[in-house]
Copies of this chain bind each other. A is one copy, B any other.
Amino acid sequence: MRPTVHDIARAAGVSLATVDRVLNARPGVRGDTIVRVNAAVDALGYVRDAAAANLARSRRFRLAFVLPRVDTAFHAALRAEVAALRPHAAMDRALIELAEVPAESPAALAATLDRLAAEGIDGVAVMAAETPQTRDALRRLRTAGVRVVTLVADLAQSDRDHFVGINNVAAGRTAGVLMGRFLGRDPGRILVFAAAMSARDQAERRLGFDRVMQADFPQHAVLPTAEAHDDPDLAARRVAQALATHGPLQGIYCIGSGKRGLARALAEAGLARRTTVIVHELSPQTRLALEDGTFDVAITVDVGHMVRSAVRVLRALAGGGTIIPAQERIRLDVVLRENLP
């Protein structure tokens, strides 16, 4: 039989309440009593029963995901994973809500965060760009005792408790080394596509990519960024433009979303399967393009893991458990046709 708080109390000659205070590092216990209790804990090899503790607390955790209302496969996946986790989180006494705010509207975001704080939320996972208004709102949240994790895009350390996402410079570097190695020795031209070079994570990917190309693969020319704004026709025109201006294209690196039209544009230009294409995020379309060879690599992240990690971390921060750091490291997934999940 494993020792319980009763055994500790008896062994240390104190009451249950005192044992509880010591175990939870609550104030109001004399130093030598603390020592006595801890000695008993060690002597008996006591381990706290998390389930019983949570039951007794009957504490519920109210958590919220605050996501921009953007219509990409990535955002849809994020919403779906949040919804999918809800029942499991409920069994774990965590109530998850999903708040969507207009993209690029710091004011709307701030209003939502303030509302959540007022409603007594315990933790918030927020995906947002860094703006002064957002920083202020997050600071108010945290001052109100709400735990905050940033999701996908990080903010300054001081404004959040934890970041759930990948290192985008490393993602860009990975794309770079794969592009360089796939293209080989012969000089080539690489077109870089971006949705819009606003987001910090896209800039970081670009940075990592450029650094690796310059340092390790100087034989290739990386053309200026082309923006396609999620528009297939525009994407097709950008490819045509690049071909006209610079000549044949050996590689395409698609840095963010906005690759929905890319496969079509490549087919129209007769470049499908003849150009090395590296993209980010594994959407259903990306999957198809990988399967038929139009795309070569997708560098992606397990959205489900991110959402689960955010919930685990918020729960732990809000006082409902411990975290296993290795479990919360978000991995960069390199997906080829051969290892499509």
Q: Which residues of B contact A341 (CB under 8 A)?
A: 329, 331
Q: Is A336 an interface residue (CB 8 A)?
A: yes
- Which residue of chain B has the shortest Cβ distance to A171 in the bound complex? B339
Cβ-defined contact, A174 with B327, below 8 A: no
Cβ-defined contact, A87 with B47, below 8 A: yes
Q: Mark A76-111, 1 if CB is under 8 A from B, else 0.
A: 000000001101101111000000000000000000
Q: Is A52 an interface residue (CB 8 A)?
A: yes
> Which stretch in A31-39, A176-184, A250-258 binds the other chain?
A176-184
Cβ-defined contact, B327 with A334, below 8 A: no
Q: A181-B181, A327-B304, A327-B308 are in contact. Are A51 and B336 (CB under 8 A)?
A: no
Cβ-defined contact, B339 with A324, below 8 A: no
Interface residues of A in 116-150 (CB under 8 A from B): none
Q: Is A26 an interface residue (CB 8 A)?
A: no
Cβ-defined contact, A174 with B336, below 8 A: yes
- Which residue of chain B has the shortest Cβ distance to A208 in the bound complex? B338
Of B51, B208, B327, B334, the contact of A55 (CB 8 Å cutoff): B51
Number of copies of this chain that the complex holds: 2
Q: Mark A297-333, 1 if CB is under 8 A from B, else 0.
A: 0000010110010000000000001101011010111
Of B52, B327, B338, the contact of A170 (CB 8 Å cutoff): B338
Q: Which residues of B contact A88 (CB under 8 A)?
A: 322, 324
**C-alpha gap A90/B322 in the complex (Å):** 12
Q: Is A50 an interface residue (CB 8 A)?
A: yes
Q: Is A238 an interface residue (CB 8 A)?
A: no
**C-alpha gap A92/B321 in the complex (Å):** 10
Q: A181-B182, A182-B182, A331-B331 are in contact. Are A93 and B336 (CB under 8 A)?
A: no
Q: Is A48 an interface residue (CB 8 A)?
A: yes
Q: Which residues of B contact A47 (CB under 8 A)?
A: 87, 90-91
Q: A182-B182, A327-B308 are in contact. Are A49 and B339 (CB under 8 A)?
A: no
Cβ-defined contact, A178 with B336, below 8 A: yes
Q: Is A214 an interface residue (CB 8 A)?
A: no
Q: Is A72 an interface residue (CB 8 A)?
A: no
Cβ-defined contact, B174 with A338, below 8 A: yes
Cβ-defined contact, A170 with B339, below 8 A: yes
Q: Which residues of B contact A93 (CB under 8 A)?
A: 49, 51
Contact residues of A with B, CB < 8 Å? 2, 47-52, 54-55, 60, 84-85, 87-88, 90-93, 170-171, 173-174, 176-178, 181-182, 184-185, 208, 212, 296, 302, 304-305, 308, 321-322, 324, 326-327, 329, 331-334, 336-339, 341
* 12 new A-B contacts at CB < 8 Å, known A51-B52, A174-B336, A331-B331: A2-B60, A47-B91, A50-B91, A88-B324, A173-B338, A174-B338, A178-B336, A181-B296, A304-B324, A329-B341, A331-B333, A331-B341
